[in-house]
Structure 1
Amino acid sequence: MAADDLTIVLADDQDLVRAGFRVILESEPGFRVVGEAADGAAAVEAVVALRPDVVCLDVQMPGVDGLEAARRVGALPEPPAVLVLTTFDDDGALFAALEAGASGFLLKNASPERLIDAVRTVAAGDALLAPDVTRRVISRATAGHGPGCPTSGSTGAPSGGEPVTAGVDPVAAAGLTEREAEVLRLLARGLSNAEIARELFVGEATVKTHVSNVLQKTGVRDRIQAVVWAFERGVASAS
């Protein structure tokens, strides 16, 4: 195995599903499945022992399910990217996965090419949400029921940062530069770091720096919450 291979742990309670995913992923040059697990507890143990770049977790597994496994993996030092896989297009599972710290959410009926792209995307540090899923996240979060947002009846700032104040430019209030605001709007369109780099004619390393600055200045924990922040304050629009 080459030192620069992208390493993956697969966790699913169905042997045939794991075997199928292994065949698909290892058909991609530079991808190596280094471990498998049939439940969430074994998946966490495999991550600790093997230190993969990505762990693919089924939601429904016996004992420790994929969502709890995602939480435990996220609490590890230098955790891998987490890609949650499920057979159900269910908002409850989606939002629970995001709350658990997953970087991506993919249905098992996705194409093999989509699975490969999803693993590569989360390994690169990007969040993976299809545009329709992004719209659902935004709709639920801006209604006060999504990841990182106050629940009904609570108070405080939505999805991190200071409360929205009428007449105040949120970009200026957060201290975002013009380029950082531009990167945030492109994030809200669902673009990956590589796509943003092409759009702005800059390197991916530059984009990563801008994204890191956006997260720090807006006071949110990840790219998904940054998108919600942008929609809540009118920095991005659904049109």
Structure 2
Amino acid sequence: MVKSYTIVPTVGYLKFTMHMAQQLLERLYPQRRSLLKRQILSDALSCFLEFGFDTTSIEMIRDKSESSVGAIYHHFKNKEGIIAALVFAALDDQACLREQYLDEAKSLQDVISALIYSYVDWVSDQPQFAKFLLLAHFSVMQNEYKQVLSEKNKTRNQKIMAHVSRYSDFESFKNIPIELIMSLVIGASESYCRAWLSKKVVADPKAYREMLAQAAWNSLQGLSNQYKTIDKRHSGEML
């Protein structure tokens, strides 16, 4: 009896999170003719997470999705194409949620909060895809889809900068390298989400979204003040 009570919630949660992953694919591939494509991607996601990238084969994905090797190659060319398609689907869905949050921002601090909230909420709602992204990012950077991924990341950063640069108080952050800004903003949230996905912590990331957003804002302001102090020192030396 104890054993059954231990297993059922886990199985139920897994089914729920995979259902959320299927909904993500339906948002990105809503056409009826994309049904097989969605099925292949959904079952490939399950295989990759359960067996790993190296062990998972086209034949395993074929059997789970009840499709054919020909259909898989037609849609994705090869296993690397399936991995890339899943990565891009996750990034596109993540970007869509981020833009929704950013569009509601009314201040620079709101923008920082929007970046944190959208990231944390997406990971919380899509743990299967979030786990996959952590595993797959390096793989895509090593194959023929590297350039596409780089362009997506570049576009993401440009859109974020377009939002933050609307506000005059961003001037105080302009001396901070953009890569350092992004690390300060998302670093703590990413670290906690990784721990949650690997079951090292229990509380859902959403429980701490406000604290994570405030911490990111405080970090930026603290670093900005340090840069201002350095600039003043340099100005004094020049005089």
The reply to whether TM is greater than 0.5 is no
TM-score of the superposed pair, with normalisation by structure 1: 0.32
Structure index of larger Rg:
2
More RCO (CA 8 Å, sep 6+): 2
Q: Which has the higher helix share?
A: 2
TM-score of the superposed pair, with normalisation by structure 2: 0.32
